[in-house]
Amino acid sequence: MSSGTTELAWFKSSYSGSEGDDCVEVAIDGQAVHVRDSKDVTRPSFAVGREGWERFVRFASER
């Protein structure tokens, strides 16, 4: 699911703060949400389907 991830528009959450420590970046395409470590963008990213991402965000926001 991870083809052409360098061409994606990556962004950090507005909750990340200005320090940039321990953040992840996400990029969304038509099929998936891609996730990578903002401290080392050379490492491979991973991708999850949009439905899986929505369930994760819903779960995390309830905590």
| pLDDT, tens digit (0-9, with 9 covering 90-100), for 23-49 | 889 999 989 999 998 888 899 999 999
CA 36/CA 40 separation, integer angstroms: 8
Average pLDDT of every residue of the chain: 84
Neighbours of 55 (CB within 10 A): 12
Q: Are strands 11-12 and 32-37 parallel, antiparallel or unpaired?
A: unpaired
pLDDT given at position 2: 44
In this prediction, residue 7 has a pLDDT band, given cuts at 50, 70 and 90, of confident
> In whole angstroms, what separates CA 30 from the centre of its chain?
14
The domains of the chain are located at 5-61
Helix (H, G, I), strand (E, B) or coil at 37: strand
H helices of 1-63, in order, are 50-61
